[in-house]
Amino acid sequence: MRIEHKGYWLLTAGLLGGLGAALGCKTAPPPRGVPEVAVQTVRPERAVLTTEMPGRISPFLVAEIRPQVSGLILKRLFQEGSDVKAGGILYQIDPAPYQAALDQANAALAAAESSLPSIRSRAERMKNLVKIHAVGEQDAEEAEAALQRAIASVAATKAAVDSAQINLANTPIKAPISGRTGMSSVTVGALVAAYQPVALASVQQLDPIYVDVTQSSSDQLRLRRRLEGGHLKSGGDSARKVKLLLEDGTPYPLEGRLQFRDVTVDPATGAVTLRMVFPNPNHILLPGMFVRAIVEDGVDDQAILAMQQGVTRDPKGNAIALVLDKSDKVEQRILTVDRAIGDKWLVTHGLAGGDRLIVEGLQKIRPGLAVKAVPFSPQAQGSQPSAPKK
């Protein structure tokens, strides 16, 4: 009996030992490999820096049409929304009253001029007679005064004729500039007054056309500091070229030019107005339209550009990136980014030429971890697995 009990306990111990060994083999973690990451080697490169700013379209020239004489509108000689040439007649005011005034002024001038020779002859005779004491000096002076009054009367009537001619010439209301007309505020038969506050219509020149955009004064100061510090250099004549995005985001096909920057900062917005001129032959740009202008700020020949997928944000909103040191260990950097250029960030602090920025495999690494680096391949990232052949 004792031998049997002893054998039973030996068998039980052996089974428990084998089970424990088996369980131990299942819970042991397998050996982990070194994580593999894709890196971008940062190199200084030339970058053209641009700023996108909101703006509005303004007409190149605007003329509000108002009558210079009062009267009744007899005709409207243009179609609303049509193009007119400078000097073209838009409205015709009834000329009859002004023609009558001109005729009356001409008649008065003729009467004044007809009496002038006899008055002049009498004055000359009186001047000769006073020399031989045939008449008194008083009579000679009165004759001379009558001559001067006649001369003044002729001049006054000539001025009245000129005024009547001007008024008659203003009865046809002409376009002062070439452009496109708007809506007419009066119809045929309306009575208008000279220099009335309400315009009859407006004419706007649309080709070329202005684009007025706003830029914050702080952005302007920062740009000036970078230019003066040598971090940027002016793009020369190309810096005055401007591109445009329409309201729906499509690019405008023609380039414009920066005309001037205003010298006054708007105290309400802290912004400065920039005015550009764009060709507009097809009248795509219309006054009041909202657009976005892309203005070239300058050229940075030593720009540090980091791929956007390699830059993240911490809970405080700081831009951070993971880079590899010389021993292929992960190091975290806090970056200062200026703007996006395509699919990259312009980095002004935190990265330098030669740094290896990790752009793929960020989820499986942490600072201080040794990794295996491979060059980043955009083609491999964008490639899709091909369909199996049938």
Check if the beta carbon of residue 46 is closer than 8 Å to that of residue 202.
no
pTM for this model (two decimals) = 0.65
Task: Note the pLDDT of residue 16.
Answer: 47
3-state secondary structure the chain: CHHHHHHHHHHHHHHHHHHHHHHHHHHCCCCCCCCEEEEEECCCEEEEEEEEEEEEEEEEEEEEECCCCCEEEEEECCCCCCEECCCCEEEEECCHHHHHHHHHHHHHHHHHHHHHHHHHHHHHHHHHHHHCCCCCHHHHHHHHHHHHHHHHHHHHHHHHHHHHHHHHHCCEEECCCCEEECCCCCCCCCEECCCCCCCCEEEEEEEEEEEEEEEEHHHHHHHHHHHHCCCCECCHHHHHEEEEECCCCCECCCCEEEEEECCCCECCCCEEEEEEEECCCCCCCCCCCEEEEEEEEEEEEEEEEEEHHHEEECCCCCEEEEEECCCCEEEEEEEEEEEEECCEEEEEECCCCCCEEEEECHHHCCCCCECEEEECCHHHHHCCCCCCCC
Task: Give me the number of domains the chain comprises.
Answer: 3
Q: Does residue 35 sit within a domain? A: no
pLDDT in 10s for each residue of the chain, 390 residues: 444 444 444 444 454 445 444 444 444 444 467 888 899 898 888 887 778 888 899 999 999 999 999 999 999 999 998 999 999 999 999 999 999 999 999 999 998 888 888 888 888 887 888 777 777 778 777 888 888 888 998 999 999 999 999 999 999 999 999 999 999 999 999 999 999 999 999 999 998 999 988 877 776 676 666 555 555 555 555 557 888 999 888 999 999 888 877 777 878 887 888 888 999 999 999 999 999 988 877 777 888 888 888 898 988 888 999 998 888 888 999 998 888 888 888 888 888 888 899 888 888 888 888 888 888 887 655 444 444 443
d(CA 352, CA 367): 19
Q: Does residue 187 sit within a domain? A: yes
d(CA 11, CA 17): 10
d(CA 331, CA 310): 13
Q: Which domain holds residue 179?
A: 67-91+172-198
B/e letters for 111-144, b = 16+ CB within 10 Å, e = fewer, are ebeeeeeebbebbeebeeebeeeebeeeebeebb
Nearest to 35 by CA among 313, 328, 311: 328
Q: Does residue 156 sit within a domain? A: yes
Q: Does residue 30 sit within a domain? A: no
Output the domain CATH number for residue 193.
2.40.50.100
Do 85 and 137 share a domain, yes or no?
no
Q: Does residue 5 sit within a domain? A: no
Task: Note the pLDDT of residue 59.
Answer: 93
Output the domain CATH number for residue 254.
2.40.30.170
Task: Note the pLDDT of residue 95.
Answer: 95
Do 367 and 232 share a domain, yes or no?
yes
Do 241 and 347 share a domain, yes or no?
yes
Do 255 and 288 share a domain, yes or no?
yes
Instruction: Please report how many Cα atoms fall inside a 13 Å half-sphere around the Cα of residue 292, on the Cβ side.
Output: 11
Task: Note the pLDDT of residue 238.
Answer: 52
Strand partners, 349: 336
Give the tokens for residue 24. 């131990």
Task: Note the pLDDT of residue 239.
Answer: 53
Do 124 and 217 share a domain, yes or no?
no
d(CA 222, CA 271): 14
Output the domain CATH number for residue 157.
1.10.287.470
Q: What type of residue sits at position 224? A: R
Do 239 and 367 share a domain, yes or no?
yes
What are the φ and ψ backbone dihedral angles of 125, each rounded to 5 degrees? -65, -45
Do 304 and 361 share a domain, yes or no?
yes
Task: Note the pLDDT of residue 389.
Answer: 42
Strand partners, 269: none
What sign results for the dihedral spanned by CA atoms 114, 115, 117, 118?
positive
Nearest to 192 by CA among 68, 327, 7: 68
d(CA 367, CA 365): 7
Do 339 and 307 share a domain, yes or no?
yes
Task: Note the pLDDT of residue 2.
Answer: 44
Task: Note the pLDDT of residue 8.
Answer: 47
Residues in the chain, total: 390
Do 178 and 275 share a domain, yes or no?
no
Per the prediction, the chain carries an average pLDDT of 82
